[in-house]
Amino acid sequence: MKPHLLRKRIQEILWQRFCEATDHDIDEKGYVSQVDQNLLTGVTPDMFRQDLEKGSGNGLQKKFRAVHSASALVVNTFAPFKKGPGKLHLAG
């Protein structure tokens, strides 16, 4: 399978699983309508808003709402540790 077709198929599967798991609707490009719909339970925008606003662009307004967003993946993974940084242990 050609790389661009494989990427498209992976995104379609991700989007389908996201909708099944969350009951949120996404548009034809894989975007939720609100930022908080792309967050795990317990993660709130105020936990990371300042960090994202330091970067270039307006990522929180558009890019972050993509189900396939790398920044959303990072936020959902690491934002919970902002409340309890002592719980994060990397490589020993």
Looking at residue 67, what is its pLDDT? 95
Looking at residue 89, what is its pLDDT? 75
Looking at residue 56, what is its pLDDT? 64
Looking at residue 92, what is its pLDDT? 63
Annotate 39-76 with DSSP letters as a single string. Answer: S-TT--GGGTHHHHHTSSS-TTTTGGGBTT-HHHHHHH
Looking at residue 10, what is its pLDDT? 94
Q: pLDDT tens digits, the chain, 92 residues: what are they?
A: 899 999 999 999 999 999 999 989 999 999 999 999 999 998 999 988 888 877 765 667 788 999 999 989 999 998 888 877 777 777 76
Looking at residue 57, what is its pLDDT? 57
Looking at residue 33, what is its pLDDT? 95
Q: Which residues contact 68 (CB under 8 A, 6 or more apart)?
A: 11, 14, 15, 30
33, two tokens: 């309508």
Report domain extents, the chain. Answer: 3-82
